[in-house]
Structure 1
Amino acid sequence: MDISDYLQRRGGVARTSHLEKAGFGRAAVRSAVASGRIVKSSRGVYAIPAASPLQQAMDRGGLLTCVSAAPVYGLWTLKSDSALHICRSHPVRTPGVVEHGRPKHPRHGWLPVAGLADVLLHSMRCLPELESLILIQSATGRGDISLDFLYASCGGKRNGKARKLLDLVIPRADSVLEVLANTHFARAGLRVRRHVLIPGVGEVDFLIEECLVVETDGSTHFEPRSVKKDQRRNNRSILGGYLVLRYYYEDVVYSPGAMVAEVLSVLELRRRGVFPSRPADGGDESA
């Protein structure tokens, strides 16, 4: 295996000791540096020429954590962060770097990355609430870590805010939009059921107050075939006696207040009789 290929498989960076264990002696390393295939990033650290957060973490003697480690674990994220989030034994105030103290759990197996437990716990104390929720939901939803373990790691009075955040995690979520929308609807006091199977329609994202179907659509729903499929589902939902609203990324992420206000307005119009009630709700079937 070529030394640059080896580095690629290790996230683009490795220490001299790891290169030696892999069979790359000093002569091979010097030759690779001279040819420009790799660079000496810092003392005892070598990397492929393109700089990466992993390289920056290793150069600083730390481990990536919080949102900076999310791509390594394949976690959902809401917004990118230009700052480098790391944890290390001896924090040093550095511009552009967010320090998270010493890691408390086993680190990543071979990359300069904190363990998943530390990544999530750090995010709970660092990121805005919903941004941290997204990371936690994706990790627990896949079964990478248990919600019980996170609760157990957040004991004491000082972690009350963290436990409230964990209370927002739902058993299943298929997208970032679903997590966020569910949180906003719940906080508005709405009665919500998720992943409801409606005969003739299929599974819908949300059924609110047993009468309003709400779908949250990501980018794949803009494909022509998906648009037609969604519109036909809307039609079948309405024929089944349900009201239907659809929201997109910009609605859920950037205008959640307006989204919730529309939902409440539709429910109020239905309460006032503007929309007929479904027979199952006790309304007049001929209405």
Structure 2
Amino acid sequence: MDIDQFLRMRHGAATTKSLYTAGFSRRELANAVTSSRIARLHRGVYVSKDADPGVVAAFRANGKLTCVSAARFYQLWTLHDAEDLHLSCGTGLARRRVVHHGECRHPAHPYLPVAGVADVLLHAMRCLPELEALVMVQSAVSQALLTTKFLGEKMTGNRNGQLRAILNLVLPRADSLLEVLAHRHFTAAGLKVEMHAEVPGVGEVDCLIEDCLIVELDGGTHFEAKQVKKDHYRNNAGLRSGLMSLHYYYADVVYHPERMVDEVLTVLRNREAGRYGPFRYIASQPPS
């Protein structure tokens, strides 16, 4: 492996120590710089031409990426891309378009200037709106990177009550960001919601609301012909059991949750009012 390949594996940046540890000599480093294959960012750090801008900025600031800026390094779900860089810096000096966070108290990323997942989540919970922090925490818990108990033990005292409330919203199981958001929106509306409910004749559904309404949250695979056909048959099976079904997509859950919840409430009100029945089925009689 040459220096270029090594740097590509590390998002285009590495410390001198890690390069030496990997077996590269002082002469190899000097030759790579002289030939413009890599550049010396500052003392102790080398970068490639296509280095990750966030990683470079963190090295330049002598800090660590954290909060939403670090989410991608742990494959954490996020609702929005960060417009500003979120950093934990030893100096704490103000920088343009940088959100400064407190110091890191847990083991950091093994080779990148990125805070450890524990600090990333603690910073996110103190910085981001509830839903944005929730999806990051849920993603970490679902990957078994840490537990809500661990985070809760880091947030004792009355002033952390709102942060601990976020942990209470984490689901035992969530297969997608949409499930986390939908559950939060439906329960906030006062609805009884069972996630991953087993419905006889139908199978597992994403949400069962008030024991009578199935809500499915459809991702990209649901546009495939086989899946569409399967979904239609599942809808038919649900109706045979007396359960209605609604389907929502990414844009509905993320960008129009109020409209989604209002539609669910409207269907439930219509059902309560008997607008979907009763009716009499009169079989056709054969001619006499």
TM over 0.5: yes
Deviation of 1:285 (Å): 11
Matched, 1:182 2:183: yes
Give 2:41's aligned residue: 41
1:160-212 C-alpha deviation (Å, 9 max, x unpaired): 11011111111011100100000000010001111111122111001101100
Cα distance in structure 2, aligned partners of 1:8 and 1:182? 39
Tell me if the contact between 2:11 and 2:51 (Cα under 8 Å) persists in the aligned partners: no
Matched, 1:239 2:229: no
Deviation of 1:44 (Å): 2.3
Give 1:31's aligned residue: 31
SS at match of 2:247: strand
SS at match of 2:206: strand
Tell me if the contact between 2:155 and 2:163 (Cα under 8 Å) persists in the aligned partners: yes
Matched, 1:83 2:72: no
Which residue type is aligned with residue 173 of structure 2? R
- The range that moved more, 204-213 or 15-24, is 15-24
SS at match of 1:90: coil
RMSD: 1.8
Aligned length: 281
Cα distance in structure 2, aligned partners of 1:45 and 1:110? 12
Cα distance in structure 1, aligned partners of 2:166 and 2:198? 28
Correspondences of 1:141-220 after superposition (within 5 Å) = 141-220=142-221
Correspondences of 1:13-28 after superposition (within 5 Å) = 13-28=13-28
Which residue type is aligned with residue 209 of structure 1? E
- The range that moved more, 78-87 or 38-47, is 38-47
Q: 1:31 to 1:140 in 2, by over 3 A?
A: same
Deviation of 1:72 (Å): 0.6
Cα distance in structure 2, aligned partners of 1:30 and 1:83? 34
Which residue type is aligned with residue 232 of structure 2? Q
Cα distance in structure 1, aligned partners of 2:63 and 2:149? 28
Deviation of 1:40 (Å): 1.9
Cα distance in structure 2, aligned partners of 1:270 and 1:108? 53
SS at match of 1:258: helix
Q: What stretches of structure 1 move > 6 A for 4+ residues in a row? A: none
Give 1:225's aligned residue: 226
Deviation of 1:129 (Å): 1.0
Which residue type is aligned with residue 199 of structure 2? I
1:25-56 C-alpha deviation (Å, 9 max, x unpaired): 22211221233322222332111211311122
The structure that has the greater radius of gyration is: 2
SS at match of 1:114: coil
Deviation of 1:276 (Å): 4.2
Gaps of 5+ in 2: 282-288
Cα distance in structure 1, aligned partners of 2:49 and 2:129? 34
Which residue type is aligned with residue 98 of structure 1? V
Cα distance in structure 2, aligned partners of 1:97 and 1:269? 50
Cα distance in structure 2, aligned partners of 1:37 and 1:203? 54
Matched, 1:125 2:119: no
Correspondences of 1:99-114 after superposition (within 5 Å) = 99-114=100-115
SS at match of 1:261: helix
Cα distance in structure 1, aligned partners of 2:191 and 2:45? 54
SS at match of 1:124: helix
Give 2:57's aligned residue: 56
Q: 1:285 to 1:133 in 2, by over 3 A?
A: farther
Give 1:12's aligned residue: 12
SS at match of 1:244: strand
Gaps of 5+ in 1: 278-283
Q: 1:51 to 1:9 in 2, by over 3 A?
A: closer
Which residue type is aligned with residue 183 of structure 1? R
Cα distance in structure 1, aligned partners of 2:237 and 2:77? 32
Tell me if the contact between 2:13 and 2:51 (Cα under 8 Å) persists in the aligned partners: no
Which residue type is aligned with residue 10 of structure 2? R
